[in-house]
Amino acid sequence: MARPRHLTRQLILTLTIGTVILWAAAASVTTLLIGAELDEAFDSALRQTAQRLLPLAADGLGDHDGDEEGHEIPRFGAEKEELLAYQVRNADGAVLIRSLDAPVAGFEAPLSRGFTNVGGMRIFTEGLPSDRIFIQVAEPLSHRRDSLMQSMAALFLPLGAVIPLAVLGIWLAVSRGLAPVGELQREIADRGATNLRPLKAMDLPVELAPIASSVGRLIERLRLAFDAERAFASNAAHELRTPIAGSLAQTQLLLAELKGTPAEARARNIEASLKRLGDLAEKLLQLSRAEAGIAATEQPVDLLPVVDLLVEDCSRRADTAGRLHFEIEPGANLCRPMDRDAFAIALRNLLDNALLHGTKSEPVVVSIDADGSVHVRNGGPAIGPETLAALKNPFVRGRTTAHGSGLGLAIVETIMSQTGGRLELNSPATGRSDGFEAILRFAEAGPHVRQAFHLAPEQET
């Protein structure tokens, strides 16, 4: 599975790399231009030095034949090596005068006017019109390379400081530029089946305004569709309750009259069908209420009495007497911002599901852990992972011979999601090789919950 792309990170990385490449390219071109300018400047210095020294040297030598023994010009007050060296030579190549840094033997460059590169030196040769005396001024090529490297360092070394500053500047610019995108994303992310409010008014750029407008219209159409669906389910279920109850009462009266006759079996089938239809109508009403967003409350509520009431009610039923076991760990609490009726609907569906589909010879265990999670476990064959994952969807049922609507776990999932909690399903059940377990995990208790119920830190979820 491909990793999701992060737009801000991608923009920062792309812009930073682009900036560095452009800087490096500009610095490289500048380096080439500086190298050409340095060569031109150094060549001009060589030429000017030769043209100024040659007349002085010729005047000092006089009108000789150029057979004087070459001598060196001393250096006064200089503590480091000179960058330029020169030799005054006659037409035969003999060195007449040389600087202290110049070699005793003549340069290898020919005695012809112009520039020559030889032996790691850049040499300029100039001669008198009579071509009897020549001067050669030499400069090490390493000096030019060193100057060019210093210029390159001045251009490239600032990159070490510029890159972090560029990243920071780009990050600030991108973050500020994409802030409306993040605000719009958070607004859209808050919307769901239980929250279809219109998007709040935002000062969006012209590029994002059409997106917000389209999403707003889509949310409005979804809200209307959901409202119509909920209204239909609620009204249909409500309208069915009375005729179903009346038909069931008439059927039970008919059963009393047909007792012992061949028609009694058919009447009992009708009674069972009406009961299932009544249960379905009740589930539809519960689902409609759950999707209307009744679960969350602003203030925390103690839900433990609801558990006690439902466990006691189920224990009194003739068909489930003795099958329900209730356990609670010391220090456990159920103080949560959740509506009692919504919690009762969720827990009632879990208990009915466990009692209906669990093995009749095994108990259904209801337990509350110290962290406040509610566990409902029952016996039975283990359920495969694929079937287990689909059980939270409406009208999905596992492999069971018991009658049911397939809405119970979907109702519980809807209610828990509204409070920030979740429904977990395990099969096999915890500590067993078979069975089924449903767990209600609530959102963590905030400071307002601890203050309202004076909870100790060890009692917090």
Determine the 3-state secondary structure of 71 from DSSP: strand
Determine the 3-state secondary structure of 147 from DSSP: helix
The structural domains of the chain, with segments of one domain joined by +, span 7-73+81-156, 196-292, 293-459
Residue 117 amino acid letter: N
The answer regarding whether domain 196-292 maps to CATH 1.10.287.130 reads yes
Handedness of CA 52, 55, 58, 60 (dihedral sign): negative
The first and second tokens of residue 36, run together, are 């050409």
Task: Name, in order, each residue with C-beta under 8 angstroms of 400's C-beta and a sequence gap of 6 or more.
Answer: 357
Q: Taking the complete model, does pTM exceed 0.85, yes or no?
A: no
More confident site: 230 or 441: 441
Q: Say if residue 74's pLDDT is above 70.
A: no
SS3 content of the chain, % helix, strand, coil (to 5): 50, 15, 35
Q: Say if residue 70's pLDDT is above 60.
A: no
- What is the predicted pLDDT for the residue at 447? 44
User: DSSP secondary structure string, 188-212?
Assistant: HHT-BTTB-PPPPP----TTTHHHH
Determine the 3-state secondary structure of 52 from DSSP: helix
Q: Say if residue 230's pLDDT is above 70.
A: no
Q: How far is CA 67 from CA 60, 86, 135, in A?
A: 14, 18, 15
> Cα(109)–Cα(90) distance, rounded to whole angstroms?
14
Average pLDDT over residues 424-442: 89
Handedness of CA 163, 169, 170, 172 (dihedral sign): positive
Which pairs with CB-CB distance under 8 Å and at least 24 residues apart come from 154-162? 155/27, 155/30, 155/31, 156/24, 156/27, 159/20, 159/23, 159/24, 162/23
How many helices and strands (H and E) does the chain possess?
A: 10, 13
| % of the chain at pLDDT higher than 70 | 85
Backbone phi, psi, residue 449, to 5°: -70, -45
Task: Name, in order, each residue with C-beta under 8 angstroms of 275's C-beta and a sequence gap of 6 or more.
Answer: 248
- What is the predicted pLDDT for the residue at 377? 92
Query: Please, which pLDDT band fits residue 170 given cuts at 50, 70 and 90?
Result: confident
Give the closest residue to 432 by CA, choosing from 357, 375, 381, 361. Answer: 381
CB 443 within 8 A of CB 421: yes
> Cα(262)–Cα(272) distance, rounded to whole angstroms?
17
Determine the 3-state secondary structure of 408 from DSSP: helix
- Per-chain mean pLDDT for the chain: 80
CATH (residue range 7-73+81-156):
3.30.450
Query: Please, which pLDDT band fits residue 402 given cuts at 50, 70 and 90?
Result: low
- What is the predicted pLDDT for the residue at 439? 92
Read off the pLDDT of residues 26-64 as tens digits, 9 standing for 90 and up.
888 888 888 888 888 888 988 898 888 888 887 777 644
Assigned superfamily of 293-459: Histidine kinase-like ATPase, C-terminal domain (3.30.565.10)
Read off the pLDDT of residues 337-382 as tens digits, 9 standing for 90 and up.
888 888 888 899 899 888 888 888 888 999 998 888 999 999 888 8
Q: Say if residue 274's pLDDT is above 50.
A: yes
- What is the predicted pLDDT for the residue at 453? 36
- What is the predicted pLDDT for the residue at 147? 85
Read off the pLDDT of residues 87-138 as tens digits, 9 standing for 90 and up.
888 888 888 888 877 888 888 888 888 998 988 888 999 888 887 889 889 9
Read off the pLDDT of residues 174-227 as tens digits, 9 standing for 90 and up.
888 888 888 888 888 877 665 677 887 777 888 888 888 888 888 888 778 767
